[in-house]
A and B are shown apart, each in its own frame.
Chain A
Amino acid sequence: MRKMKTILSKYNLLLVLLVSLVITSCSNNEDGDTSAGLEDGKSTVIRDLAGDTNGSMGEGVDGKTKKGFDTFLFRFSDKKQIWIRNAADSTQYLKTKDWDIAFTGPYNSEVYVNKGSYQYNPGYGGSATSAVVKIDNPYAEVTEAPSDQEFSASEINKIGWAFSDAANGWFFYSLDTHLMIPIKNRTYVIHLPDGKYAKLELINAYQGNPPTVTNLNWPAPYFTFRYFVQNDGSKNLKTK
């Protein structure tokens, strides 16, 4: 009997150990609520900026009124969202230097910087010569913009779906759940149309910036992102 009990308690201990292992082993390095801690006193944090929520991919999606998604532009200096709904909007805004990033494509999830020389850039034909470099480091730890040579050597044109770890996008797409999974600790440094340097973290496209999404019908696209523009023209991007 005594022996039995000892064996049992050993098992119990192991069980507890294993259970806690199972529970902790797969948690990501997300420290609780992902929304907390975005503010650093210097960066601009944008929460739940609505994209084209009436748009849809494909046919007959319930509650959606149209196919495709309208592009919108965003200007860092005054947080202005500019919609491109028609030809007049296009003429007025696309080829100007009045915007810094554009949200295009499915669920507005494909982001461009303002670069007139690339055929598929919304600003194609315009005079803006933005460039962007991807840095796989946490936003706060990116403290300096890379050299101008690095910007001109960058092959990044579109920041959207990352089809591999090495790809330039800001999210993975789960083939099992059909959900977007934002990539952590990835920062984009941008040489803006006005010559200033900025850093950008694209954080989520799901409403409320939930740490994880399991429901395919979670409201989207509502963008959470943060950025910092160095207004003195230097490459100093320190935000802490």
Chain B
Amino acid sequence: MNMKNNFKKKVLLKALLLSFLSVLFLASCSNDDEPVKDDDVEIIDDTPSSTSNYYKVLRAENFGYTLADGNELEDKAVLYYSLVDNKAVGSEYRKTSRWDLGFSGLYSSFLSGNNGANTGNLGSGNSAIGGIYIVEQAFDEVVNVPNDAVFKTGDRIYGTDDAGDFGGGVGWYLYDFDGIFVRDGAYDNAHIAYALGEPLLLKSGNTVPARTLIVKTAKGDYAKIKMISVYKDILKREDYTRKSPKMFFTFEYVLVPKGSTKFEIKK
């Protein structure tokens, strides 16, 4: 009897160990960088594109979330925005063409368009035909819609600018790690992200020219975007501090329909 019980116990133990190990095995190879796959949830994309948002200056305010204290390098959150509808889109719509602008990577600050054909894109496999591009020109000066060939279709395309720390080429914001590019290096002035919708004067005397993002939307419309701030309700650069609540994207943009050659404002 005892023997039998012992065996039963052993079998149970092994089974437990087995399931534990399987979990381990399954978990050990998951890649943290991989976004959560929710492809099984099929969302039928039947929303017609809004047409009321063309040819006028639209504004997104405080789009984002609070980064937890002490966890400022968290990059798990990916945000989706519909420029066509001027509203946030939930991540369950990732595989649809309902969103036009993706925010991913460090601080959710690396931007991309929605493109189903690029396997690296957040929307990989969907029917979206979008992309993103950046120019070193002020928003108002960007008049022409660029050639379709310039749009980049991958993930995390534009973020930090080479004029600041951890630059990734031409970017839409300058990251001032030590607070010395833009200010005096005091404690409160470190770790600040300056959106480059307007030119930015540096301590060195140089000015970083304004940058404008140009997005081809999921369905082929075009938008030019001026990034204004990443801080909640704080839009003036002089008011940013290292403790200001982030990441809350505020930006302005103009949307024109598919086939347009100019960013016209008619309303």
Taking Cβ atoms with an 8 Å cutoff, the residues of A that contact B are 1, 4, 7-8, 11-12, 14-15, 18-19, 21-22, 25-26, 57-59, 67-68, 105-106, 110, 119-120, 155, 157-158, 160-161, 163-169, 175-176, 178
Contact = CB atoms under 8 A, between A and B. Distances in A.
A157 B162 contact: yes
Contacts, number: 97
Nearest to A174: B32
A196 to B, nearest CB: 26
B59 interface: no
B36 interface: no
B14 A175 contact: no
Q: Which secondary structure characterizes the binding site on chain A?
A: loop
A8 B15 CA distance: 10
Contacts of B162: 119-120, 157-158
B1 interface: no
Given A15-B18, A176-B32, A164 B11 contact: no
Interface size class of B (residues with CB under 8 A): 35 or more
B246 interface: no
Contacts of B74: 175
B201 interface: no
Contacts of A157: 162, 169
Contacts of A110: 167
A178 B18 CA distance: 33
B90 interface: no
Nearest to A67: B178
A4 B8 CA distance: 8
Given A22-B28, A164-B120, A166-B154, A120 B177 contact: no
